[in-house]
């Protein structure tokens, strides 16, 4: 630590805060901790406002004990959503404070589901035809991941027809990467099954997370394809956005 001497002869110590000496890992850890602390402070302020308990009291009785036990209070807050036992060792100012804190944590910290989707074209011009396509799409729908491949339970997979031969395969997941791996495995299962009948599976859109805007675009596309089919064939468009029978 560098030192200097003031005009009155006192020795002054100072710290050189050079950003060039900070590693990317240190920066990332510091930014993460700052973000978590800011969220924690915001939650405690909300609890203080709702219950009338002083913010300093909440820090002393709730935040600091949880930080000492769990490494960071926000990590403990996240656990309260599914494990209320963490409050057994915390001397909360009142049950009202505990209830309010748990309610706010559930509202603000519960993970939100993400929709992931892939678009595929499945064709088969052999004797089995549509039956082979149905079987291949069932393989996509029934795809699962093992415990080694993912940490959450496999969600239901939806298979929808846009217009032959285009199909949309999608699911809702908490972990986006888990969903992407699941849909990639579904594509592989579909490809393997349709190849048994000399058919083909072509990926038109690789698995990715989608938004409400993407859903609106898909809906517009399905409606457009339905109108086109009606104009060409004269058939009604009922079921144009439904799954093939039996899938």
Q: Give yes or no: residues 102 and 123 share one domain.
A: no
Q: Give yes or no: residues 192 and 149 share one domain.
A: yes
Of 109, 128, 155, at which residue does a domain stop? Answer: 109
Q: Give yes or no: residues 154 and 133 share one domain.
A: yes
Q: Within a domain: residue 69?
A: yes
Higher pLDDT, 135 or 128: 135
Q: Within a domain: residue 10?
A: no
Task: Provide the pLDDT confidence category of residue 246 given band limits of 50, 70 and 90.
Answer: very low
Q: Give yes or no: residues 104 and 165 share one domain.
A: no
Output the pLDDT for position 19.
61
User: How much of the chain exceeds pLDDT 90, in percent?
Assistant: 41
Q: Which domain holds residue 173?
A: 114-233
In whole angstroms, give the CA distance from residue 22 to residue 171: 41
DSSP state of 225: H
Task: Provide the pLDDT confidence category of residue 245 given band limits of 50, 70 and 90.
Answer: very low
Output the pLDDT for position 153.
75
Q: What CATH number should be reported for the domain holding residue 67?
A: 1.10.150.190
Of 109, 134, 150, at which residue does a domain stop? Answer: 109
Please give the backbone phi and psi of residue 233, each rounded to the nearest 5 degrees, phi first.
-100, -25
Task: Provide the pLDDT confidence category of residue 198 given band limits of 50, 70 and 90.
Answer: very high
Average pLDDT, the chain: 83
- Residue 39's Cβ-side half-sphere holds a number of Cα atoms within 13 Å equal to 17
CB atoms within 10 A of CB 208: 14
- Decide if 44 contacts 63 (C-beta within 8 A): yes
In whole angstroms, give the CA distance from residue 206 to residue 53: 51
Q: Decide if pLDDT at 214 tops 50.
A: yes
Output the pLDDT for position 16.
59
In whole angstroms, give the CA distance from residue 4 to residue 196: 80
Q: Within a domain: residue 91?
A: yes
State pTM to two decimals.
Answer: 0.59
Give the 3-state secondary structure of residue 5: strand
Q: Give yes or no: residues 95 and 150 share one domain.
A: no
Q: Within a domain: residue 242?
A: no
- Residue 66's Cβ-side half-sphere holds a number of Cα atoms within 13 Å equal to 27
Output the pLDDT for position 123.
96
Q: What CATH number should be reported for the domain holding residue 127?
A: 3.30.70.1130
Output the pLDDT for position 244.
52
Output the pLDDT for position 91.
85
- Decide if 155 contacts 184 (C-beta within 8 A): no
Of 109, 140, 175, at which residue does a domain stop? Answer: 109
Q: Decide if pLDDT at 152 tops 70.
A: no
Q: What's the total number of domains in the chain?
A: 2
DSSP state of 88: G
Output the pLDDT for position 6.
47
Q: Which residues lie below 8 Å from residue 134, measured CB to CB, with a gap of 6+?
A: 244, 245, 246, 247
In whole angstroms, give the CA distance from residue 39 to residue 28: 17
Overall average pLDDT of the 213-241 stretch: 70
DSSP state of 111: P
């Amino acid at each position: 630590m560098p030192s200097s001497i003031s005009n009155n002869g006192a020795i002054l110590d100072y710290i050189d805060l050079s950003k060039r000496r900070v590693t990317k890992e240190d920066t990332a850890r510091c930014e993460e901790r700052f973000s978590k602390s800011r969220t924690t402070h915001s939650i405690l302020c909300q609890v203080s406002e709702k219950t009338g308990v002083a913010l300093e009291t909440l820090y002393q009785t709730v935040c600091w004990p949880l930080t000492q036990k769990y490494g960071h209070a926000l990590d403990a807050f996240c656990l309260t959503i599914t494990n209320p036992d963490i409050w057994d060792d915390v001397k909360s100012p009142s049950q009202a404070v505990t209830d309010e804190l748990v309610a706010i944590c559930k509202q603000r910290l519960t993970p939100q589901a993400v929709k992931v989707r892939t678009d595929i074209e499945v064709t088969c011009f052999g004797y089995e035809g549509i039956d082979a396509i149905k079987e291949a799409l069932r393989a996509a729908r029934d795809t699962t991941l093992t415990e080694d491949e993912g940490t959450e339970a496999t969600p239901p997979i939806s298979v929808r027809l846009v217009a032959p031969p285009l199909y949309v395969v999608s699911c809702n997941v908490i972990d986006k990467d888990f969903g992407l791996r699941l849909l990639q495995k579904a594509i592989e299962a579909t490809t393997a099954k349709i190849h048994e009948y000399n058919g083909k599976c072509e990926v038109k859109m690789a698995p990715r997370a989608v938004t409400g805007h993407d859903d609106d675009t898909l809906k517009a596309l399905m409606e457009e394809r339905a109108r086109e089919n009606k104009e060409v064939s004269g058939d009604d468009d009922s079921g144009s956005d439904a799954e093939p029978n039996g899938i």
